[in-house]
Amino acid sequence: MFNKAIVLKSNVSEILSINSPFNHHNYSMKMEPFELFVEDYDQWYEKNPSFFRSELKALGKVIPGGIGLEVGVGTGRFAKELGVEFGVDPAINMLKLAKERGIKVVAGVGEELPFVSEVFDYVINVITICFVKDPGRVLEESRRVLKHGGKLVIGFIDRNSFLGKIYEEKKKMGHKFYRYANFFAPAGIIDLMEEAGFSRFEIYQTIFSPESQHRIEEPKEGFGEGAFVVISGVKESF
């Protein structure tokens, strides 16, 4: 699936991939819905094309060139559109779709990435931060696999936005996906990124109202208006 000698920290016999066993007890989030409802998950992008395209435009503002990794690649929708070469995810059924979309995939979790240190120019994390068990550890691992000066890009739904409040209500009602989510405010994400050793932040926002589902919107700098927020930071030396 990819050049194992360059990026994987385990030897060939220990490589985690969709072709080898993976220890489900080490999953960093509740995986049942992501394994059982892959089609429902993937169809969201077909049913909400304007939301998806607006999110892509915001992410595109900060994603640099070079070799990229998506942590929580899912079915590969974002990675394919953004040109991200590598993807990692614990949900095997989702990885199968991501592989079909041309992503070089490996099974694994964000808290213990199966890659050697300092190999990627950028790492993206889209919505995944809301579902992991240990967000701080995920960002530390992202920093580890980034080259010096590499960029971490996080896209998420602002819990204080109109959409964040809708998702919080769905969580309370036991929604099959959102029941497991922990939504963040932008300040909380910035704090986590600073603690993990990132700085020089860039912030963009999009999806400004319920009407946004009917049009593709241009992102604005900052946060506080848009439901989808993108924050990027650069790996600095401690």
Q: Where are the domains of the chain?
A: 29-235
pLDDT band at residue 1 under the 50/70/90 scheme? very low
Q: Find out whether 41 and 93 touch, Cβ atoms under 8 Å.
A: no
pLDDT band at residue 30 under the 50/70/90 scheme? low
Residue of 220, 212, 231 lying closest to 166 (CA atoms): 212
For residues 152 and 2, which has the higher predicted lDDT (pLDDT)? Answer: 152
pLDDT band at residue 175 under the 50/70/90 scheme? low
For residues 3 and 98, which has the higher predicted lDDT (pLDDT)? Answer: 98
DSSP state of 25: G
Indicate if the pLDDT at residue 36 is higher than 80.
no
Q: Give the range among 34-38, 172-176, 195-199 with minimum mean pLDDT.
A: 34-38
Residues of the chain with pLDDT > 90: what percent? 65
The per-residue pLDDT for 37 is: 63
Q: Find out whether 141 and 129 touch, Cβ atoms under 8 Å.
A: no
pLDDT band at residue 139 under the 50/70/90 scheme? very high
The per-residue pLDDT for 147 is: 97
Indicate if the pLDDT at residue 22 is higher than 90.
no
Indicate if the pLDDT at residue 24 is higher than 90.
no
Mean pLDDT value across residues 105-127: 96
Mean pLDDT value across residues 161-179: 81
Classify residue 168 by burial, with Cβ atoms within 10 Å: 0-12, 13-18, 19+: middle
Average per-residue pLDDT for the chain:
86
Indicate if the pLDDT at residue 20 is higher than 90.
no
Q: Find out whether 121 and 67 touch, Cβ atoms under 8 Å.
A: yes
Give the C-alpha distances (Å, rounded to integers) separating 131 from 89, 94, 117: 12, 15, 24
The per-residue pLDDT for 7 is: 55
pLDDT digits (tens, 9 = 90+) for 41-96: 788 888 889 999 999 999 999 999 999 999 999 999 999 999 999 999 998 888 99
Q: Find out whether 60 and 217 touch, Cβ atoms under 8 Å.
A: no
DSSP state of 198: E
Q: What whole-number distance in Å separates Cα of residue 89 and Cα of residue 127?
A: 13
Q: In what order do the strands lie in the sheet with 120-126?
A: 104-107, 86-89, 68-71, 120-126, 146-157, 228-235, 198-206, 220-221
The per-residue pLDDT for 21 is: 41
CATH superfamily of 29-235: Vaccinia Virus protein VP39 (3.40.50.150)
